[in-house]
Each structure stands twice: as structure tokens, then as C-alpha cells.
Amino acid sequence: LIVFDVDGTLIDSQQMIVSAMNAGFDDAGLAPIDRQQVLSIVGLSLPVAVAELIPDAAPQTRQKVVDGYRAAFQIARIREQAPLYPGAQECLDLLAARDDVLLAIATGKSRRGLDALVETHGWQPLFVSRQTADFHPSKPHPAMLQAALDEAGVAADRAVMVGDTEFDIAMAVSAGTGAYGVGWGYHPSARLMSAGAALVAPDFPVLSRALQ
């Protein structure tokens, strides 16, 4: 089983995420937040991410940020879908064509957001399991990955998690699966390696070869 993260791994959603977060901050009456601060928390579930960014804010303020983010991100998604990283679709198609490989997703996105993405890219047949933040604790808790393993009927030692943040890697380590990082996402390669990644691929062709 090969389990993919989404934002920063398959799709390049940086600008959409930064803009949506600052829209949420504006709705809550807060000053704009630095781009790198926003990108540092990508991969966490949205309420957890907002709590990391404004730990001293009142719960009502955090909720305003969350609600504003969701509304702004939905508008951005309708206007312009975040693009796939070069080689992402080819990698998925190559792996899906194998009869000894199953594919899954484990993402901090909402189910609604993931379903829209899957429909846009015609991914319905590709993934045997789609795990989202709606029904599980935030990464790096291993619940999402464990649910994907259970749904696919695959043991942890026959699986690998592919992601761009230390939260993905730490989740894999906790679940007992392999962990591959990608070098084009939100966290630097050194951070992924220190979290336990077996490798950090510089591009999708290298990742495809490693997975095969």
C-alpha cells in the first residue's frame, strides 16, 4: 500500500493556502501572518494549525479564523484548482497499473475538499482508501494511516507513506510503515530526514523509481 499526502505532495496549493489563511485572519480582526509561518503548519488539521499559529487567542477568535479560511479556500478552489506538481499524475498512473500495489490518501484536508479534488482530477478509481481530518486526530497521530491500512487489508510493514512534512513522516513512524519524503513541498529535506524519512525524492521520476 502506498499512501499519499495531498497538499505539498501531489498538488501545489501554496498560494491558495496562504491567501485563505490571511483571509481568515482578516475576518477575525487580526493582522496578516507571514507566509513562512503559514507554510510551516501545512499538514496539520485546520483547527490544530490555527491553534499553532495563534496559541494565545480566544477560542472564538480561532474559530473565526477557521471559518474564514474555509470560506476563502472554497472560493479559490472554485475559481482556480491548485495544479498538480509535474509528474504527479504520471506517477499515480504508473503505480495504479500494477496489480501488486494499492494506493490511498491520508490528508489534513476536509472530506469535502478531498472529494472535490478527486472529482476534478478523475481520481475515483485510483485510491482504495481516502482518509481525511474530519474523522481522525490531526497528523502526526497515526489514526489516518492505520485506518487506510485496515481498509486496504495491508500490514504496516508492506506500506509506505509519502509526504512533504515532518507530520507525514512522524505519522508513518508511529504507524510502523515506511516513510518517503518529497523535496518540493512545505518542509525542507533535512527536517524530513531528521523525522525519519528513508529518503527524500527531489522529483517525481526519482520517487516513482524508489516506490517501484
What does the buried/exposed string (b/e) look like for 89-112 if buried means 16 or more CB atoms within 10 Å of the residue's CB?
bebbebbeeeeeebbbbbbbbbee
Of 5, 27, 115, 168, the active-site residue reads 5
Residue 5 annotated among the catalytic residues of the structure: yes
Q: How far apart are CA 39 and CA 198, in angstroms?
A: 23
Of 7, 134, 157, 168, the active-site residue reads 7
- Check residue 45 and give left, alpha or beta (phi > 0: left; psi -120 to 50: alpha): beta
SS3 category, 212: coil
CB 9 within 8 A of CB 182: yes
Positions marked catalytic:
5, 7
